[in-house]
Amino acid sequence: MCKVSFFNKEMDIPIIQGGMGVGISLGNLAGSVAREGAMGVISGVDIGYREEGFLKDPLAKSKAALKKEIEKAKAIARGRGLIGVNVMTAAKDYEELVRASSEYGADAVICGAGLPLNLPELVGKETLIAPIVSSKRALALILKTWKKRYDRLPDFVVVEGPKAGGHLGFKREEIETVKLEDIVADVFELLKELKTERGKKIYSFAAGGIRTLEDRLRMKDLGADGVQVGTPFIATEECDAHINFKQAIVDSKDSDLEIILSPVGFWARAIKNDFLKGIDYSKVQKRRCIDCLKTCDPRKTPYCISKALCESAKGRLNVVFSGENIDSIDEITTVKDVIEKLMGER
Ligand SMILES: Cc1cc2nc3c(=O)[nH]c(=O)nc-3n(C[C@H](O)[C@H](O)[C@H](O)COP(=O)(O)O)c2cc1C
């Protein structure tokens, strides 16, 4: 009933664990989610951050780490569920990391933080592809471009609303006014038209603040086939994040969250802390730059987002991204618990 059947692969549970960088969703979390029959997603962002020599050759180190994490996830999943890789379109290494993900056997590649207009040309035929969008307009543009250039459609779409964690695809004022429900319904209309026109079913997954069975069913009633969930998976034993990062999510409430303007050029939701309080937006921080983002100008940015996220991954909390609706996340549980809560089995 809930099964999601792509042209070559299936998942029993209509849940995607959202890719979370840096170092939050790696092979252990993704593999554990897949083992439950859902889709686990490895974040490709700066994935080589723990490798020696990363600052000298970030791409080579990230490719090596990506291969290891995909293999690890597949071994943990033991053939169940699917393993995806999330690559930010805004990353300088976006094309290389997408190509590598497909080559190393990822079942799916999911791309947000910008419009992945050339995604189809970067992957093999067996790799499922999906954009993350925050409006019907953005999806329509991707569909039009992919059809014209590649005669290819996405296999699924992630529809991310303003309550999500990490970078958001909205203008500042839209974060308070736009509702995920409205975007999901709009996107569903577009996908329905497409099904009639071209005969292909494109699955949609709603994301941002989804925590319970009721949340999931509300999205289903609006036409979504499933949900993508991020933050609750951080507070699990299996999550790859440092314990300090997990504990920060457990200890925080919605009132502890704030919206920041990230050097990536997007608004983002993060936990208020001393690091964020100490940023002087009138100053440019001079530091070594690995030139990781297409959209960041190091001559103008007050801090390096890549460094801040890598530090947090190591347990020295700088920027800690989180979705909204976290009041109910008050202990570290397991992947199985998170999935059962969303599926209504407990
Ligand atoms: C710590 C953290 C890091 C994230 N990193 C990424 C990322 O690198 N790329 C991306 O597309 N989305 C990223 N996201 C968004 C998630 O994949 C997911 O879509 C979103 O968090 C869903 O909302 P929820 O956390 O409220 O469930 C991140 C979210 C969090 C909480």
Ligand 1: residues with CB < 6 A are 18-21, 24, 43, 45, 86, 88, 112-113, 132, 160, 163-166, 207-210, 228-231, 321-323
Residues 145 and 217 placed together within one structural domain of the fold: yes
Find the CATH number of the domain harbouring 99.
3.20.20.70
pLDDT for the residue numbered 286: 66
Question: Per DSSP, what are the bridge partners of residue 333?
Answer: 236
Instruction: Tell me whether strands 156-160 and 203-207 are parallel, antiparallel or unpaired.
Output: parallel
Would 309 be classed as within a structural domain? yes
Residue 117's contacts (CB-CB under 8 Å, 6 or more residues apart) are 142, 145, 146, 149
Residues 168 and 49 placed together within one structural domain of the fold: yes
Residues 131 and 259 placed together within one structural domain of the fold: no
Q: Which domain holds residue 32?
A: 4-241+329-343
Question: Which among 26, 10, 11 is positioned nearest to 242, based on CA atoms?
Answer: 26
Residues 207 and 265 placed together within one structural domain of the fold: no
Q: How far is the CA of 167 from the centre of ligand 1 (A)?
A: 7
Q: Which of 110, 163, 231 to mutate to test the pocket of ligand 1 (most atoms within 8 A of CB)?
A: 231
Q: How far is the CA of 198 from the centre of ligand 1 (A)?
A: 31
Residues 276 and 205 placed together within one structural domain of the fold: no
Would 299 be classed as within a structural domain? yes
For ligand 1, atom 19, the nearest C-alpha belongs to 18
Would 322 be classed as within a structural domain? no
Q: How far is the CA of 144 from the centre of ligand 1 (A)?
A: 26
Residues 138 and 280 placed together within one structural domain of the fold: no
Which pLDDT tens digit goes with each residue over 33-92? 999 999 999 999 999 988 999 888 999 999 999 999 999 999 999 999 999 999 999 888
Would 33 be classed as within a structural domain? yes
Q: How far is the CA of 284 from the centre of ligand 1 (A)?
A: 27
Mean pLDDT score of the chain: 94
Residues 122 and 223 placed together within one structural domain of the fold: yes
Residues 78 and 189 placed together within one structural domain of the fold: yes
Q: Which atom of ligand 1 is nearest to the CA of 209?
A: 26
Q: Which atom of ligand 1 is nearest to the CA of 158?
A: 19
Which pLDDT tens digit goes with each residue over 124-136? 999 999 999 999 9
Q: How far is the CA of 84 from the centre of ligand 1 (A)?
A: 14
What is the DSSP code (8-state) at residue 321? Answer: B
pLDDT-above-70 percentage for the chain: 99
For the segment 289-312, the average pLDDT, to the nearest whole number, is 82
Question: Which among 132, 143, 170 is positioned nearest to 19, based on CA atoms?
Answer: 132
Residues 133 and 76 placed together within one structural domain of the fold: yes
Would 320 be classed as within a structural domain? no
Residues 76 and 202 placed together within one structural domain of the fold: yes
Residues 155 and 212 placed together within one structural domain of the fold: yes
Handedness of CA 107, 111, 116, 122 (dihedral sign): negative
Residues 277 and 234 placed together within one structural domain of the fold: no
Q: How far is the CA of 21 from the centre of ligand 1 (A)?
A: 8
Question: Per DSSP, what are the bridge partners of residue 265?
Answer: none
Q: Report the number of distinct structural domains present in the chain.
A: 2
Give the lowest-confidence range in 192-196, 252-256, 331-335.
Answer: 192-196
Cα distances from 161 to residues 65, 69, 185, 242, in angstroms, run 30, 28, 12, 27
Which pLDDT tens digit goes with each residue over 226-269? 999 999 999 999 999 999 999 999 999 999 999 999 887 899 99
